[in-house]
Structure 1
Amino acid sequence: MGIATTERRGTDRVRRLLAPLGVAAGVGAAFAVVGVVDPNEPGHYPTCPFLWLTGLYCPGCGTMRTMHALAHLDPVAALGLNPLAVAMIPFLLFWWGRWVLRAWQGRPRRTTLAHPAWLWAFIAVVMVYWVVRNLPVGAFLAP
C-alpha cells in the first residue's frame, strides 16, 4: 500500500465526516446563540405560531427556553419548561454518534432512521404530550 492510497483514504474519511460535523457545528452555533440571547426576554425571538393562533401549547413550546436553561447548566429549569425536549437529547446524540461512526468507517448511511414501530411510538408520545400539556391535569407540563 502506497502513500498515495493512505492519503486518499484520509481525504475520503474527512470528506465523509463533513456532513455530521457540519450538523454539529450548526446545532452548536444555534445552542450558543440561544444561550447568549435570552428567550425569556420579549422581542428577541418570534412567538410560537401555534400558541399565537390557538392559545394552546405545541410540543415544542418552551424548547428555546429549555436550551437556554441547559446552556446555563440548569437542568431542573429545563425539565420544567419542556421535559420532552430534554428527554430527546440522549436519543439525538445517539443517532448523531451513530452517523459519525458510520461515516468514519466508510459504511453507507442507512436509509431509515429507525424501525417504523419506533417512529410510530414516538409520534404517539408526542401527540399524547401535546394534548396532555394543554389539559388541567397536565398543567405541570406547560412551559
Structure 2
Amino acid sequence: MTAADPAAPAPPPSAAPPAPAAARVPGAFAGPLAKGDVPLWRRLVAPAGVFAAVAGAFAYVGAVDPGHPGHYPVCPLYRFTGLYCPGCGGLRSAHAFVHGDLVSALHDNAPAVAGYAVFAVLWLVWAGRSWRGRPAPRIALRPVQVWSIAALLLVFSVVRNLPFGAWLHP
C-alpha cells in the first residue's frame, strides 16, 4: 500500500496532532492557560486558596496569643538546649504584626517580618499574572543566593544567642 492509496487505514483517532512549534520551544508559553481559554475564576483559584490559607493562619495567630503558654508547642531546640533558633519568636512576631505593632514584630523576629514582606510581594505578582492569564512566575534561586540566605539566618541565630545580642531575643 502506498500513501496515496485510498484503501490505506486511517490513523487511530487517539493519535494527537503534532504540537505547534511554539509549544516545542523551551520557555515558550502555549499551554491551556492562555487568557481566552480559561475563565478568570479558574485562573484565580490557586492564588485565592493560598491567600485564604495564609490569612486563616494569621487570623488564628492573631486571635490566640503565643505569649501565653499552652497554645502552641515549644521550639524543640530551645526546649533541649536553651538556644534560640532562627524561627523562635516567629509566632509572637506574627501576632504583633497582625495587631499592627511593627516594632514588637521586628523585635520578636526580624527575618520573619522580612519573610512576610517577600511573601506578600511574590503573592501579588502571582495573583496579578494569574489575573492577566499569564503563567505563575518561576522562582529559581541560584546557589549563591540560597547560601547567602542560609548564612544570614545562621549569623542571626548566633548573634541572638550571644550576650550582646540579647536585644534580638524573642
Superposition TM-score, scaled by structure 1 size: 0.84
- Structure 1 residues 126 and 66, CA, compared in 2 at 3 Å: closer, same or farther? same
| Unaligned ranges ≥5, structure 1 | 1-7
Whole-Å Cα distance in 2 between the matches of residues 114 and 105 of structure 1?
A: 25
Helix, strand or coil for the counterpart of 1:41? coil
Whole-Å Cα distance in 2 between the matches of residues 97 and 81 of structure 1?
A: 26
- Aligned residue for 1:4? none
- Aligned residue for 1:42? 69
Whole-Å Cα distance in 2 between the matches of residues 117 and 34 of structure 1?
A: 33
1:13-32 equivalences under 5 Å are 13-32=40-59
- Aligned residue for 1:137? 164
Is 1:105 aligned with 2:124?
no
Whole-Å Cα distance in 1 between the matches of residues 134 and 154 of structure 2?
A: 34
Whole-Å Cα distance in 2 between the matches of residues 10 and 55 of structure 1?
A: 56
For residue 57 of structure 2, what is the amino acid of its counterpart?
Answer: A
Whole-Å Cα distance in 2 between the matches of residues 135 and 108 of structure 1?
A: 45
- Structure 1 residues 17 and 115, CA, compared in 2 at 3 Å: closer, same or farther? farther
Whole-Å Cα distance in 2 between the matches of residues 13 and 113 of structure 1?
A: 27
- Aligned residue for 1:59? 86
Whole-Å Cα distance in 1 between the matches of residues 41 and 141 of structure 2?
A: 26
- Answer 1 or 2: higher relative contact order, Cα 8 Å, separation at least 6: 1
Superposition TM-score, scaled by structure 2 size: 0.71
Q: Number of aligned residue pairs: give it.
A: 136
